[in-house]
Amino acid sequence: MTRYSSPVWHPFTQHMLEPVTKKIIHTEGAYLIDEDGRKILDLISSWWVITHGHRYPAVMQAIRQATEHYDQIIFADYSHEPAEQLAQELIHIAPQGLAHVFYSDSGSTSVEVGLKMALGYFHNRGEKRSKVAVMAGSYHGDTIGTMSAGERGVFNAAYGALLYDVATIPFPAEGREQQTLDVFEQLCRHGDLAALLVEPLVLGAGGMKIYPAYVLRQLKSIAEAYGVLLICDEVMTGWGRTGTLFASEQAGITPDILCLSKGITGGALPLAATLCVPKIFEAHLSTDRSRTFYHSSSYTANPIACAAGLANVQLWRNEPVLQRVHNVQAMQSRGLARFKDDPRFENIRQCGTITALDFKTQSGGYLSDIALRLKAFFRAHNVLLRPLGNVLYLMPPYCVTEQELQQGYQLIDEAATLLQCGKL
């Protein structure tokens, strides 16, 4: 039945349709090197995690040093210096007012933790608020809680019986921003809303949709007026992707809960952190053990991952990382400019180092029939791009060069020509 000989089951992969996966044997800078020696240009940062570049020396050195002292340590009974230092650094660089750090393992779990923090806050205060609002088209992860908070569709259709209901506000599309704000305020007036969970400025897996910072600022203002918590999922948008260290900076706000992962270690190791304001921690602080925050995983605050995270934060402090971000942002703008009036594309957009454009096609959406053909075309030309259906996006590591980016845009141009004449 299957054409795939390995026992490994890969994520987001239909093994009956996609080719046998090549093994990667080495990574360096903006490249993956496979078992045949081919250098593959990684223009999506290996699913948005690699920031400075693959195997960035300072991060790798921190990992090596940490392995001389640590492996996993139970984090319920003990602490360790990498976790303590990283928490202090995160509080220092995060939007002002966030004061506590809860570690977990992935973007999904960081958001799951945020949701549980919000619901636990109101439960422990004796307030009957248990509803969560989200933005239409969003994606927050693949755990049950985060799937429930994401857009219902192909990602989670098989698991509907497990999912809880959430309220939804419309995506603030251009010209319809006020509708988003009005719907959110109407939801707040019901008095049972605990939190609004949003991806700030850019919806990632939902199609790289971009909205202006003032909308986020006004959502925060409405939430404050009604005592609703704002959870910012910066798993993808954090660590410079939108042009600032955190996307919420551009709105001039401090979320009540901030969810981080992906670039927190520069992409070297899995780690996540959920930051919160003091009142949320204090609502769980009690001599009553039933008010404990009951969440953990076996690998919470892995010391080696925390050491990598600390090295990443120190890079942001000691090296001109933000200047590199701005350089990539400018290069991306120049690369995207060639498609400005191209009739083959629509909705050409950019936010910081992220660019996206939509192929005009009759079958849009994540299951668009052109996605696999496009991916195969790019793979054959040694470039890693993974279209979201008919949506193409570039989110490169900050070490990428102008020539490398132009290679990606040239291939997009060629792919569009082949599609147009029916040769792809």
Q: Report residue 260 CA to chain centroid gap.
A: 8
Burial of 281 (0-12, 13-18, 19+ CB in 10 A): middle
Structural domain including 158 reads 59-318
Which among 286, 318, 350 is the end of a domain?
A: 318
- How many domains are there within the chain? 2
- The runs of H, that is alpha helices, within 49-93 are 57-67, 81-93
Which CATH number covers residue 396? 3.90.1150.10
State the DSSP code for 29: B
Task: For residue 418, count other CB atoms closer than 10 A to its CB.
Answer: 14
Q: What is the mean pLDDT of residues 376-396?
A: 96
pLDDT in tens, 396-415: 999 999 999 999 999 999 99
pTM higher than 0.85, yes or no? yes
Domain match, 265 and 397 both: no
11 part of a folded domain: no
7 part of a folded domain: no
pLDDT in tens, 94-118: 999 999 999 999 999 999 999 999 9
Domain match, 313 and 375 both: no
Domain match, 280 and 328 both: no
1 pLDDT more than 50: no
Q: What is the mean pLDDT of residues 121-133?
A: 97
Domain match, 306 and 356 both: no
The pLDDT, as a whole number, for residue 4 is 62
161 part of a folded domain: yes
The pLDDT, as a whole number, for residue 5 is 79
Backbone angles phi, psi at 6, to 5 degrees: -75, 150
258 part of a folded domain: yes
pLDDT in tens, 159-217: 999 999 999 999 999 999 999 999 999 999 999 999 999 999 999 999 999 999 999 99
- How far is 213 from 355, CA to CA, in rounded Å? 17
Domain match, 263 and 387 both: no
Domain match, 93 and 150 both: yes
41 part of a folded domain: no
Domain match, 326 and 299 both: no
| pLDDT, the chain, mean | 96
Task: For residue 122, count other CB atoms closer than 10 A to its CB.
Answer: 21
Domain match, 100 and 209 both: yes
Q: What is the mean pLDDT of residues 292-308?
A: 96
- How far is 199 from 259, CA to CA, in rounded Å? 10
Which CATH number covers residue 65? 3.40.640.10
Domain match, 194 and 157 both: yes
Give exposure, 134-147, as e/b (b: 16+ Cβ within 10 Å).
bbbbbbbbbbebbb
